[in-house]
Structure formats: structure tokens, C-alpha cells
């Protein structure tokens, strides 16, 4: 494909919002990039953390003052209006409106504390307030799309992956963090079938990575840590090659190449050899090639390395739109702040072992992910014997 190919009118005929995720097991498809309300914005970890990590519901019962503030007095104009609307009779002996036990003061409106707690029941007669529920509405768990069990990988005497178990669910952005040499890259390489484990199993959408590699790898898009690109190709040629390698026709390949180039800010560079790209541009063209066939699971090793903040924001937005459409992302990064902001689930790997895994709120608790990571990784070493650093040469 020549550099001039991207100038054809049909290249921009479709947008990334028209891409579809491969058919689900039930035969249905999910549109990517649509921003559907059917899924939570997994990138908005602050909202998840507030809901899942800060269980500080107030169990105290409401006071008479609170109940009076929530329900206007029966003798007030607003109270009379409410009584007229509700059609309830006034009890002259009690001097206030009566209502059956369990009924709300105003039809369609919760009574007292119920308006804040979201409870569907009313306060029993004679009580001044209701107890706020401590639980949250049940959320249906998404199915597991990538599962690892008992993974072990040795390099001679070095145990790089030590009995690793992971479950990654549909629609999530799952972060893998750990110190240098902790086994993150080896673990991701085993998950994607690039390395064969000494023990354990990996399944992707119920396809075993080793006994059914074709089906498993067809569902994945993989960005390895050490980029090995066909750098004598132009950016456009590389995207076209990646698309056709995954079975896309030429027209779809050119259309999606144009969409990705625009999204990643590579439009002006498509006609240049990849060898002339900077490290950040190489990372973006590799990520675009990983996305072009619209896989159901993305496994990205250090996707933000050497990428400028503007491009990192763009990549994050693309990943959020991708998961909103039903895709799943597994990524590793050394940036704790970026992982905390981007991912909704995380695993901390140290010495080849998973020391903590779960939702972001479960893993970090009330601390930052960086603080939790430093605690599990062994704390901050202090170089007390390096006083010579203060005796400057020259």
C-alpha cells in the first residue's frame, strides 16, 4: 500500500464508532466506541473507588428534627397541599394527618430518610426516621474472559512466575504492576501464548491458549514490551499488513487505518517509514496495529512507555471507549498514578507472585496505589552508605 492510498475518498468513509466486537458466544455483537450507557465508564476510577472503597454508610436512625424537615407539618400550607394531593383524611383528635402503616406521605415520593437511602420501603408508623441501609444494589458480575491458573515459569534457577492465578472479566481495564524484574512481562507473555509455561493453564474466552491456540489468539490483540516492528514499511503499509493478516479485506483495512491514524495523531506520518518514527510514535503505530482487527481482549505491555501526556490521554480515551463496547484490556505499567486513574482492577506482582489482586478499591483500600505497592514491594530502601555523593568531584 503506497503512502498515497490514504488520500482516497473511501478511506474516511467509516469511523471507529462503526467497528464491531467479534460475535459473542450467543451470536450477538457489541458496537465499539458508542459510549453506550449499558456499561460503566471503567476509566472513571474515582467513581468506582467512592462506591466500592468507602463503605461509610451512616447507620444512625434519623432524628425527629430530620423527620420534621423531610416531611412538612400537616398544619402548614405545604402540608395541607400534600394532604389534598394524597387524598388522606385528617385525624382531628391527633391534629395531624394519618396514613396507613408503610405508606409514603406523598404518592410517588419516598418519605424521610428514604429519599437519600434509596430504600423502597417506608418508615413504620410511630418511628421518627428510618435506618439507612448499609448495602448497595447488587451488580451483575461480567463473565471471565481471561483466566490463568497455577502458572509457573522458570529460567534455570530463577522462578519468574510462581503459581500465578488471575481472573479478568469482560469490560474491565485490568492493570498489572510490579517492580523491575518482578515477572510482569513473563506473565503477560505466558497469558498470550508467546511463552509456554512449565505448569498451569490459560484460557481466553474458554479457549485454551495451548490446546486451541488459533481460536484463543484470534480473540486477542497483543502489544509486546519489546517492539519488533517491520520498520522498513511505511506506517500505512504496516497497518494494512496487520489488518489483512487478521483476515480483513482491503477496503476495510484502508478505512480502519485512516480512523486509527487520525485517532492517534499519525495522519501526517503514514507515508514515512516506521524506522523514522520516534519511540512514542512507534508505540502508537504498534498499538494501532494491535487494535485494527477489533479483538475482544487486548494485552498491552507498557503501552504508555515513551508516550507524551497528550498521547497518553488519547490512548486512555480509546481504551475506555473500547471497554464500553464490551472489550477487555490487560495492561502493565510502572506509572502507579496512571494505573490508578485508568484501571478498575489491578494485580500487584512481586517476585513472580501475585501479592494482591481485585478491584482498585479492594487492593489499595484508603491509600494510594503507589503506597500500597511500596508496602508490598518491600518499602523504600535508604542508601545510607553513599555519603560520597555529597563530596562533589572537581
Strands (E), the chain: 90-91, 96-97, 144-155, 158-169, 173-177, 199-204, 207-208, 220-223, 297-301, 328-332, 345-350, 353-359
The average pLDDT across 253-271 equals 92
Residue 144 has pLDDT above 90, yes or no: yes
Residue 374 has what pLDDT?
A: 86
Cα–Cα distance, 307 to 311 (Å, whole number):
6
Return the SS3 of 202: strand
Residue 364 has what pLDDT?
A: 87
Q: Which three cell numbers stand for residue 113?
A: 430518610
Instruction: Band the pLDDT of 222: cuts 50, 70, 90.
Output: very high
Give the number of residues written for the chain: 394
**Higher-confidence position of 88 and 244:** 244
Cα–Cα distance, 256 to 266 (Å, whole number):
13
Residue 263 has pLDDT above 80, yes or no: yes
The backbone torsions φ and ψ at residue 128, rounded to the nearest 5 degrees and listed phi first, read -90, -10
Cα–Cα distance, 329 to 174 (Å, whole number):
6
The average pLDDT across 12-31 equals 40
Which residue bears the cell 423502597? Answer: 120
Asked whether the CA dihedral 225, 230, 235, 236 is positive or negative, the reply is negative
Q: At what angle do helices 250-263 and 279-291 cross, to 10 degrees?
A: 140
Residue 367 has pLDDT above 90, yes or no: no
Residue 71 has what pLDDT?
A: 45
Q: What is the pLDDT of residues 171-193, one digit of tens each?
A: 999 999 988 888 999 999 999 99
Cα–Cα distance, 61 to 127 (Å, whole number):
10
Residue 9 has pLDDT above 60, yes or no: no
The average pLDDT across 77-91 equals 45
Instruction: Band the pLDDT of 380: cuts 50, 70, 90.
Output: low
Taking domain 144-377, whether its CATH number is 3.40.50.300 is answered by yes
The backbone torsions φ and ψ at residue 250, rounded to the nearest 5 degrees and listed phi first, read -60, -40
Cα–Cα distance, 321 to 324 (Å, whole number):
5
Residue 58 has what pLDDT?
A: 41
Residue 38 has pLDDT above 50, yes or no: no
Instruction: Band the pLDDT of 198: cuts 50, 70, 90.
Output: very high
Residue 148 has pLDDT above 50, yes or no: yes
**Higher-confidence position of 135 and 194:** 194
Q: Which three cell numbers stand for residue 241?
A: 499488513
Residues in CB range of 389: below 8 A, 6 or more apart: none
The average pLDDT across 220-232 equals 85
**Beta 328-332 vs 173-177: how paired, if at all?**
parallel
Instruction: Band the pLDDT of 135: cuts 50, 70, 90.
Output: low
| Distance between first and last Cα of the chain | 58
Cα–Cα distance, 389 to 187 (Å, whole number):
37
Residue 226 has what pLDDT?
A: 75
**Strand partners for 181:** none
Domain boundaries, the chain: 64-117, 144-377
Amino acid at each position: 500500500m503506497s503512502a498515497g492510498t490514504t488520500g482516497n475518498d473511501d478511506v474516511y468513509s467509516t469511523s471507529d464508532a462503526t467497528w464491531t466486537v467479534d460475535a459473542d458466544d450467543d451470536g450477538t455483537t457489541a458496537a465499539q466506541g458508542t459510549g453506550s450507557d449499558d456499561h460503566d465508564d471503567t476509566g472513571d476510577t474515582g467513581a468506582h473507588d467512592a462506591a466500592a472503597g468507602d463503605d461509610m454508610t451512616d447507620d444512625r436512625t434519623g432524628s425527629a428534627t430530620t423527620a420534621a424537615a423531610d416531611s412538612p407539618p400537616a398544619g402548614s400550607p405545604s402540608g395541607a397541599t400534600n394532604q389534598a394531593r394524597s387524598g388522606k383524611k385528617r385525624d382531628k383528635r391527633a391534629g395531624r394527618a394519618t396514613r396507613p402503616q408503610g405508606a409514603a406521605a406523598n404518592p410517588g415520593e419516598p418519605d424521610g430518610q428514604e429519599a437519600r437511602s434509596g430504600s423502597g420501603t417506608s418508615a413504620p408508623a410511630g418511628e421518627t426516621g428510618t435506618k439507612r441501609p448499609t448495602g448497595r444494589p447488587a451488580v451483575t458480575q461480567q463473565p471471565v474472559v481471561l483466566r490463568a491458573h497455577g502458572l509457573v515459569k522458570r529460567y534455570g534457577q530463577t522462578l519468574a512466575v510462581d503459581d500465578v492465578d488471575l481472573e479478568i472479566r469482560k469490560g474491565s481495564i485490568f492493570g498489572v504492576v510490579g517492580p523491575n524484574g518482578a515477572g510482569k512481562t513473563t506473565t503477560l507473555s505466558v497469558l498470550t501464548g508467546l511463552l509456554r509455561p512449565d505448569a498451569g493453564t490459560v484460557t481466553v474466552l474458554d479457549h485454551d491458549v495451548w490446546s486451541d491456540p488459533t481460536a484463543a489468539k484470534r480473540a486477542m490483540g497483543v502489544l509486546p514490551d519489546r517492539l519488533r516492528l517491520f520498520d522498513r514499511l511505511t506506517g500505512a503499509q504496516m497497518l494494512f499488513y496487520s489488518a489483512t493478516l487478521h483476515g480483513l479485506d482491503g477496503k476495510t483495512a484502508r478505512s480502519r487505518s485512516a480512523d486509527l491514524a487520525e485517532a492517534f495523531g499519525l495522519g501526517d506520518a503514514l507515508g514515512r517509514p516506521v524506522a523514522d518514527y520516534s519511540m512514542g510514535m512507534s508505540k502508537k503505530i504498534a498499538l494501532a496495529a494491535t487494535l485494527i482487527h477489533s479483538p475482544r481482549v487486548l494485552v498491552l505491555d507498557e503501552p504508555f512507555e515513551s508516550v507524551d501526556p497528550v498521547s497518553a490521554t488519547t490512548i486512555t480515551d480509546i481504551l475506555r471507549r473500547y471497554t464500553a463496547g464490551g472489550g477487555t484490556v490487560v495492561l502493565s505499567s510502572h506509572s502507579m498514578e496512571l494505573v490508578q486513574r485508568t484501571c478498575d482492577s489491578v494485580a500487584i506482582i512481586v517476585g513472580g507472585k501475585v501479592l494482591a489482586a481485585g478491584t482498585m478499591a479492594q487492593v489499595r483500600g484508603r491509600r494510594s496505589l503507589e503506597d500500597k505497592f511500596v508496602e508490598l514491594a518491600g518499602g523504600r530502601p535508604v542508601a545510607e552508605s553513599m555519603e560520597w555523593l555529597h563530596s562533589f568531584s572537581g
